Amino acid sequence: MPIGFGVSQKQTTGMVPEHILGKSVLKMGLQELQEFVQTELNDNPALSLQEELSCPVCGTMLIDGQCSTCGSRLVDEIEYPDESDTDDWTEDNWTEPEPNDDFVYEPFAHVAAPSSLEAHLKEQIHAQFREDDIPVAEFIVECLDEDGYLREPLFDIASRFEMSVPQLEAVLEQLQMLDPPGVAARSLQECLLIQIRYLPADDEHHEIACRIITDCWESMSKMKLDEISRSLEISRDSVVAALHYIRKKLNPYPASMFRDPWQTMAPRREAKLAPDVIIRDSEAGLVAEVVDPISSRITVDEIYASLHAEMSRKKNGFSDKDRERVRESVQNAKSLIDALEFRKTALRTIASELLKCQLEFIIKGPAYLKPMTRKQLAQQVGLHESTICRATDNKTIQLPSGEVIPFDMLFDAALPIKELVRKLAQERINGRPLSDGQIAERLQAQGVQIARRTVAKYRDELRVLPAEYRLA
């Protein structure tokens, strides 16, 4: 029989565009969803967005006068007196302060300070540096990172200004004397040494702290307290007291301490991460609400809806191209509205079931989490497992305590054990923290079979330092 190629006809089932859109929208987080809808509004004239009040800080639509993203709340407008009523605004009603009043008007108290660390330093440079050194000092300031450290090699800066490294170091040393203390340091050790020079030398812990930073830096960075005690020939308690002094008095991030006085009176413009679901305490108990200020406000444009209905009734008067354009725009608009509604409904269903199953965890904490898989949840709510995965992927839920956690945490069977590891890591035996092996032994005594390396893994995930680095 000759070998050849044959052609056969077979029917296959493909995924329609509406299904693809629905799956894509379901997987989106709140911010990504808002950006996607805004793009669709710009591209599709058949879509209409009902205008509502938006947050002046982050732009999110307000729900009952409050922003679900950054927490800002719409305040009532201030009631001013009627313009015709001038009795309260006459000069006779204004009084001069008494001579012995506590209030003293300071005209410069409300003048804004420099708007950045760079501007703050350059202002000091122009007042204290020689004219020839000002360009070099300003360039060094421009090289500082966000924490106030100088990471640029001195040789490169010296070559740029055709000067020797010792000459540059003299300028840098003068720069390091400016406010805030510790700025322009090249390492954490240098930063702390610069700051400690400004502290009173008569403090009982000052001398030991200086010696620890200068002579025992490596041991200090690894929290080897006994090694520091032997090296400096002092008691362990003195070492611990000096380390507490360093932690309390010195700042490893000098630039973070710099903030203009006027900024404390201005609202912060950075919005916090908005959760996708919020669990609120209502009169009926805890309820799960989907944060979605968009889907209920997206509609098909009235003009396009009327035009589409008229085109369906009349066979003449419109070109085939116009009919197709309007039909496609309206169909895409309805598909997006359906996809948004499905996302909201699916999230609400999933969150409500999780609230019912994990109520103790939500109220009492991680130790009360019940083991649950996405497959089990899918069977309980009647959705496909892939739908559960898309709906919970990269999404967060806000607990009644205000803490925002990822949905993944609700399916982490090891979470109660991690909580035990975290609590045991805070315990002490004779003043010393428990090692990973000792934590494993404690857990095994409680019936939790766990290896030391698993304890170390969980401890790393919890961002808990090893025992030798934890301060006693």
Would you state the CATH architecture of domain 117-257? Orthogonal Bundle (1.10)
Beta carbons of 440 and 452 less than 8 angstroms apart? yes
Token readout for 185 is 């340091």
Q: Phi, psi (5° rounding) for residue 230?
A: -70, -40
pLDDT classification of 174: cutoffs 50, 70, 90? very high
Q: Which residue type sits at 246? A: I
Torsion of CA 290, 403, 270, 50, to 10 degrees: 10
Is 80 exceeded by the pLDDT of residue 120?
yes
C-beta contacts of 186-194 below 8 A and 24+ residues apart: 186/149, 186/150, 186/151, 187/149, 188/252, 189/213, 189/217, 191/148, 191/149, 191/252, 191/254, 192/246, 192/250, 192/252
Reading across the β-sheet that carries 277-282, which strands appear in turn?
A: 285-290, 277-282, 396-398, 404-406
pLDDT above 90: residue 160: no
Lowest mean pLDDT, pick from 124-128, 151-155, 417-421:
151-155
Rg of the chain (C-alpha set): 33
**pLDDT tens string 331-380:** 888 899 899 999 999 999 999 999 999 998 888 888 888 888 999 999 99
Contact (Cβ atoms closer than 8 angstroms) between residue 337 and residue 295 = yes
Percent of the chain with pLDDT over 70: 78
- Predicted local distance difference test score (pLDDT) of residue 203: 86
Tell me whether strands 277-282 and 285-290 are parallel, antiparallel or unpaired: antiparallel
Distance CA 287, CA 280 (A): 5
Neighbouring residues of 81: CB distance < 8 A, sequence distance ≥ 6: 88, 89
Mean pLDDT of 37-50: 86
With cut-offs at 50, 70 and 90, classify the pLDDT of residue 93.
Answer: very low
CB contact at 8 A, 38 and 356: no
Q: Which residue spans of the chain are classified as CATH 1.10.10.1330?
A: 117-257
- The stretches of 115-176 forming alpha helices (DSSP H) are 117-128, 134-143, 154-160, 165-175
Quick one: pLDDT at residue 55?
58
Whether the per-residue pLDDT at 267 is higher than 90: the answer is no
Residue 61 has pLDDT above 80, yes or no: no
Average pLDDT of the segment spanning 423-434:
86
- Rounded CA-CA distance 148/195 in Å is 13
Name the residue with higher pLDDT: 29 or 140.
140
What pLDDT score was predicted for residue 72?
54
The region of weakest confidence among 44-58, 203-217, 293-307, 443-457 is: 44-58
Query: pLDDT grade, residue 16 (50/70/90)?
Result: low
Question: Average pLDDT of the chain?
Answer: 79
Question: What is 415-469's CATH number, 3.40.50, 1.10.10, 1.10.3470, 3.30.200?
Answer: 1.10.10
pTM: 0.53
- 2 phi, psi to nearest 5 deg: -70, 145
Residue 22 binned pLDDT confidence (cut-offs 50, 70, 90): confident
What pLDDT digit, counting tens, does each position of 223-263 carry? 888 899 999 999 999 999 999 999 888 988 888 766 544 33
3-state secondary structure 176-190: CCCCCCCCCECCHHH
Residue range 379-389, pLDDT digits in tens: 999 999 999 99
Look at residue 311 in the predicted model and tell me its pLDDT.
82
Asked if 29 and 394 touch (Cβ cutoff 8 Å), the reply is yes
Give the pLDDT confidence score for residue 184 in this predicted structure: 92
| pLDDT for the residue 48 | 85
> CA geometry: angle at 316 spanning 312 and 321, to 5°?
75
